[in-house]
Chain A
Amino acid sequence: MMAEIGLTHYLVVAAILFALGVAGVLYRRNAVGMLIGIELILNAANVNLIAFARYADRGVGVPGVNGSAGLEGQVFAIFVIILAACEAAIGLAICINIFNKFGSIDADRADTMRG
Chain B
Amino acid sequence: MSYETLSFYMLSALAVCAAAVATFSRSIVNAAFGLLFSLAAVAGLYVLLRADFVAVTQVVVYVGGIVVLLLFGVLLTNRRLEDLSAFAHRPRAVAIILGLAVLTVLLSMVLGASWPQAEVAQLEGTTRPIGYLLLQDYLLPFEFSSLTLLIALVGAAYLVRSQERDE
Contact = CB atoms under 8 A, between A and B. Distances in A.
Answer yes or no: are A and B bound together in one complex: yes
A81 to B, nearest CB: 5
A84 B57 CA distance: 12
A110 interface: no
Nearest to B101: A19
A77 B133 CA distance: 13
A74 to B, nearest CB: 5
A17 B26 CA distance: 19
Contacts of A79: 141, 145
Interface in B109-129: 110-111, 115-123, 126, 128-129
A68 B129 contact: yes
Given A8-B110, A13-B15, A54 B49 contact: yes
Contact of A19 (B28, B74, B87, B100): B100
Given A13-B12, A77-B54, A83-B148, 6 more contacts: A5-B4, A23-B96, A56-B116, A75-B138, A81-B58, A101-B163
8 contacts: A20-B23, A29-B90, A36-B70, A68-B123, A78-B130, A79-B145, A89-B156, A90-B155
Q: Which 8 A-B pairs have the closest CB atoms?
A: A23-B99, A67-B121, A19-B103, A24-B23, A86-B152, A27-B95, A15-B106, A93-B156
